Amino acid sequence: MADAPLTLRDLARLDIATIKGVGDKRRESLADVGIESVLDLLTTYPRRYVDRTNEAHVGDLVEGVETLVLVTIRSVRRVPLRNRRSMVTALVGDATGTLSLTFFNQPWRERQLKTDQEVAVFGKPERFRGKLQMTNPVVDIIGDKTGRIVPIYPQSEKANLSTWEIAGWVRNALDRAAPRTIGDPLPSVIRERLTLIERHSALNTIHFPESIVDKERARERLAFDELLRVQLVLVGRKRAFERDNTGIRHDMTGEMQQRFIDALPFPLTGAQRRVIDEVNVDLAKAVPMHRLLQGDVGSGKTVVAVAAMLVAVQGGHQGALMAPTEVLAEQHYAGIQRLLADLKVPDDGNLFGERQLRVELLTGRVTGERRRDVLTDLANGGVDIVIGTHALIQEGVEFSSLGVVVIDEQHRFGVEQRAALRGKGAGERHTTPDVLVMTATPIPRTAAMTVYGDLEVSVLNELPPGRTPIVTTAVVQHDASGESSGEVDAMWREVRSALDAGQQAYVVCPMIEESDKLEVAAAEEIHESLRKGELAKYEVGLLHGRMSSQEKDDVMTKFRTRKFDVLVATTVIEVGVDVPNATCMVILDADRFGIAQLHQLRGRVGRGSIASRCWLVRQNPHVGVERVAALVKSTDGFYLAEVDLELRGEGTLMSTAQKGASDLKLASLRRDEKLIKAAREAAFEIIDADPTLKRHRELATEVNLLLAREEKEFLTKD
Ligand code: ADP
Ligand code: MG
């Protein structure tokens, strides 16, 4: 089949050395940047494009407005500065004028830039001594390429690869592929319905477009392919899970859930009611539930969790809730016990036909006889609901009949741990418990479809009424000259007046990622200095990650019972801690935290009816400005998640969510909402007609080829 169209696998098998002009040395340089096969080369897409007919001229430049200009280099000069630093300047220009470029601390520019070269320069022009100048602009060397639109490839100074060399090799690869053509594995019905162009044409066009519109069409097609591969794995896994697991068809006719809801001291929010309904529908089905509940801090996820577990209990099964820390597990235990205080469970063996519902705690701190009791009664069904930590998934923990599993703050748990807890349900009847995964880290909808594409998603997008919004203020500790700013003093004055009014405050210490020890030292120092200084009149407690669970517990109890007015803490308080009387949150070195984390921390206040305040203290007036500004502007977790995605890019999102998709080179979780949906629908269509992709061999091969091994393992686990 020598003339069959080339597949991606064929291209992956062709060594890059088969390309004209790639000798041993270039081959090594290319390997350094991860390009080893012709496929790697063809999927190294241009970073940008320069449209020769459409770029600005030097004469059009406006001071202070970032612009791209195409210019020729007239001269390059290196200017020595003091302290062995250097500056490289270049004079560039076109028919309409000249511009000078200044590069600080980039001595290599002297070698890179050559007289008469054509370059694309992107930067902000300023006027200096009467002349236009750009400082440290982005420079792309275009070389002597002709054609209207010039692709600019990621260049590697280190590997000494230039964009025009890469363009030349890509050209050679495409020319040689032309006779056989590159095949298209996408069923043409789907391709035509979505009006996507063919793959071969897309590959040609993305590298050498005739117009920017064409390029966009090509990008759309290739981005769709990337998204489809991810969705095929996720949808495939979802369907396999549904096929291979038998769930419990929970009896929905009992009254426990409703009695619980009726007994709550507040009415459910509309969102809680809706999500409980969504969960109930899942619970009634024979297929096990696998649902993600996203709900901002304070949106009332616990009530939903308890409602779900009660359905299990009603039918004689058990519920388990796993939290990531002991503090949280204990807090949940206390809270849930309170919520369930008067609830009875049907029991035929009992004279009264019912008995008290039993909730137990299982953490590393439950030991000795108590632990043995809990374990025994979990195994014989005497315990209805168990709240715990990782301790729940250890050997020796057995359930009589685990019906509903709730996993709180899921980003703290790996998939293995999720699977382990679910596995505890595989008793004699080989049923899989229903799983509800809860997270307080909202992620945008499109991202959720990709990152959690194998789960159903519910959203609690409504806070219980009566919360007064948190007012957030940005505070700069030092001004530009390093002097302490008055803003900090004003902040402590306001904190003191809240404390005088009987309220409480958190002070969050800087996070020091590099060292636990340093972080604790910093916290101790801050604790000392506040106790002696700003907050000398008050009881100030300290909480950090190196304390024993017992110590932490004591501190939290003292704070909860108002023996402490102030709690100085490291980020251990990030998750779930609930003290409604705490109304002030001071976050020191806020610039060291990410948006999601700041949002979580801030969520510790604003839980009662008194107006709460949050101060974000920055060391440096120039770092973290956008992040802090976003927090000042909004308390909406979903909005903040969007901003976060915008500021950090999606790579970080994928890795924190522990689900990578390194294949996403062109697709954007931010911008490609329509494509993501289309890919997901196409994946369902393909998988439902052909679950093992027997009749879509080439698609299956591509999934295997392009998703990194770890990801696939991850994706195909569960
Ligand atoms: P989270 O979603 O952050 O886990 P919780 O479940 O801890 O939120 O709920 C936060 C607080 O709001 C708790 O004190 C809880 O009792 C209260 N709460 C939950 N639902 C409602 C509601 N519908 N109306 C009023 N308060 C509620
Ligand atoms: Mg919670």
Classify residue 41: in a domain, yes or no. no
**From ligand 2's centre to the CA of 576, what distance in Å?**
5
Q: Tell which residue, 378, 433, 439, has the closest CA to residue 407.
A: 439
295 lines ligand 1 (CB under 6 A): yes
Q: Residue 660: its pLDDT value, please?
A: 37
**From ligand 1's centre to the CA of 299, what distance in Å?**
6
Residue 419: pLDDT over 50: yes
**From ligand 2's centre to the CA of 302, what distance in Å?**
6
User: Ligand 1 pocket check: which of 337, 578, 599, 604 to mutate, most ligand atoms within 8 Å of Cβ?
Assistant: 578
The single residue listed with the structure tokens 């096929």 is 243
Average pLDDT over residues 345-371: 87
Q: 476 and 439, same structural domain?
A: no
Classify residue 582: in a domain, yes or no. yes
453 lines ligand 1 (CB under 6 A): no
Q: How far lies 558's CA from each of 502, 553, 555, 561, 566, in Å?
A: 15, 9, 5, 5, 10
Decide: 687 and 232 in contact? Cβ < 8 Å: yes
Q: Residue 519: its pLDDT value, please?
A: 84
Residue 505: pLDDT over 60: yes
Classify residue 657: in a domain, yes or no. no
Residue 396, number of CB atoms within 10 A of its CB: 8
Q: Where are the alpha helices (DSSP H) in 563-664?
A: 595-602, 625-633, 637-648, 650-656
Q: Residue 444: its pLDDT value, please?
A: 77
654 lines ligand 1 (CB under 6 A): no
269 lines ligand 1 (CB under 6 A): yes
Residue 484: pLDDT over 60: yes
Distance CA 120, CA 98 (A): 14
272 lines ligand 1 (CB under 6 A): yes
Beta bridge partners of 507: 568, 586
Residue 243, number of CB atoms within 10 A of its CB: 10
299 lines ligand 1 (CB under 6 A): yes
**From ligand 1's centre to the CA of 298, what distance in Å?**
5
440 lines ligand 1 (CB under 6 A): yes
Atom of ligand 1 nearest to the CA of 460: 2
**From ligand 2's centre to the CA of 659, what distance in Å?**
23
Last residue of a domain, one of 118, 142, 166: 142
Q: 301 and 273, same structural domain?
A: yes
303 lines ligand 1 (CB under 6 A): yes
Average pLDDT over residues 519-547: 92
Kindly report the average pLDDT of the chain as a whole number: 86
464 lines ligand 1 (CB under 6 A): yes
Q: 446 and 324, same structural domain?
A: yes
Q: 59 and 107, same structural domain?
A: yes
Classify residue 425: in a domain, yes or no. yes
Q: 413 and 297, same structural domain?
A: yes
Q: 399 and 540, same structural domain?
A: no
Distance CA 484, CA 493 (A): 15
Residue nearest to atom 25 of ligand 1 (CA): 464
Last residue of a domain, one of 442, 460, 478: 460
Average pLDDT over residues 328-341: 90
608 lines ligand 1 (CB under 6 A): no
pLDDT tens profile 297-327: 788 999 999 999 999 999 999 999 999 888 7
pLDDT tens profile 22-78: 999 999 999 988 899 999 999 999 988 888 777 788 998 999 888 888 899 999 999
Classify residue 414: in a domain, yes or no. yes
Q: Residue 716: its pLDDT value, please?
A: 43
What phi and psi, each to the nearest 5 degrees, are found at residue 540? Answer: -120, 120
Task: Tell me which of 3-12, 189-198, 378-387, 667-676 is least confident.
Answer: 667-676
Atom of ligand 1 nearest to the CA of 269: 23
Decide: 230 and 707 in contact? Cβ < 8 Å: yes
Residue 428: pLDDT over 70: no
In the chain, the percentage of residues whose pLDDT exceeds 70 is: 91
Q: Residue 705, class by beta-carbon neighbours within 10 Å (0-12 exposed, 13-18 middle, 19+ buried)?
A: middle
Q: 421 and 286, same structural domain?
A: yes
Residue 578: pLDDT over 60: yes
Range of 514's domain?
Answer: 470-634
Q: Residue 658: its pLDDT value, please?
A: 34
Q: Residue 156: its pLDDT value, please?
A: 67
Q: 480 and 340, same structural domain?
A: no
User: Ligand 1 pocket check: which of 268, 296, 297, 303 to mutate, most ligand atoms within 8 Å of Cβ?
Assistant: 303
Task: Tell me which of 122-126, 144-148, 666-670 is least confident.
Answer: 144-148
Q: 486 and 435, same structural domain?
A: no
pLDDT tens profile 580-592: 899 999 999 898 8
125 lines ligand 1 (CB under 6 A): no
Average pLDDT over residues 514-518: 78
Residue 712: pLDDT over 60: no
**From ligand 2's centre to the CA of 332, what distance in Å?**
8
* CA dihedral sign of residues 683, 686, 689, 691: negative
In the chain, the percentage of residues whose pLDDT exceeds 90 is: 49
Residue 219: pLDDT over 80: yes
Average pLDDT over residues 255-266: 93
**From ligand 2's centre to the CA of 552, what distance in Å?**
19
Q: 628 and 523, same structural domain?
A: yes
Q: Residue 556: its pLDDT value, please?
A: 86
Residue 717: pLDDT over 50: no
pLDDT band at 1 (very low <50, low <70, confident <90, very high): low
294 lines ligand 1 (CB under 6 A): no
Residue 516: pLDDT over 80: no
CATH number of the structural domain spanning residue 625 = 3.40.50.300
Average pLDDT over residues 414-441: 75
Q: 586 and 474, same structural domain?
A: yes
User: Ligand 1 pocket check: which of 299, 408, 579, 605 to mutate, most ligand atoms within 8 Å of Cβ?
Assistant: 299
**What is this structure's pTM?**
0.73
609 lines ligand 1 (CB under 6 A): no
Residue nearest to atom 16 of ligand 1 (CA): 300
Q: 411 and 365, same structural domain?
A: yes
461 lines ligand 1 (CB under 6 A): no
Classify residue 147: in a domain, yes or no. no
Q: Which ligand number lies closest to the CA of residue 599? A: 1
Q: Residue 288: its pLDDT value, please?
A: 92
Long-range contacts of 523-529 (CB under 8 A, 24+ apart): 523/568, 523/569, 523/570, 526/568, 526/588, 527/568
Residue 412: pLDDT over 70: no
Classify residue 579: in a domain, yes or no. yes
Q: Residue 656: its pLDDT value, please?
A: 38
Q: Residue 427: its pLDDT value, please?
A: 56
Q: Which ligand number lies closest to the CA of residue 323? A: 2
Higher pLDDT, 296 or 401: 401
Average pLDDT over residues 515-531: 88
Atom of ligand 1 nearest to the CA of 302: 6
442 lines ligand 1 (CB under 6 A): no
What is the 3-state secondary structure of 227-275?
HHHHHHHHHHHHHHHHHHCEECCCCCCCCHHHHHHHHCCCCCCHHHHHH
pLDDT band at 423 (very low <50, low <70, confident <90, very high): confident
pLDDT tens profile 133-188: 999 888 887 766 666 788 888 876 666 787 888 999 999 999 999 999 999 999 99
**From ligand 2's centre to the CA of 579, what distance in Å?**
12
When divided into structural domains, the chain yields a total of 3
> What is the 8-class DSSP label of residue 671?
T
Q: Tell which residue, 42, 67, 66, has the closest CA to residue 55.
A: 67
302 lines ligand 1 (CB under 6 A): yes
Residue 259: pLDDT over 90: yes
Residue 72, number of CB atoms within 10 A of its CB: 14
Last residue of a domain, one of 91, 123, 142: 142
Task: Tell me which of 33-42, 277-286, 377-386, 700-709 is least confident.
Answer: 700-709
Q: Which ligand number lies closest to the CA of residue 293? A: 1
Atom of ligand 1 nearest to the CA of 268: 23
CATH number of the structural domain spanning residue 75 = 2.40.50.140
Q: Residue 240, class by beta-carbon neighbours within 10 Å (0-12 exposed, 13-18 middle, 19+ buried)?
A: middle
pLDDT tens profile 622-661: 777 888 999 999 988 888 888 887 777 654 444 433 333 4
**From ligand 1's centre to the CA of 607, what distance in Å?**
8
Atom of ligand 1 nearest to the CA of 607: 11
Classify residue 666: in a domain, yes or no. no
102 lines ligand 1 (CB under 6 A): no
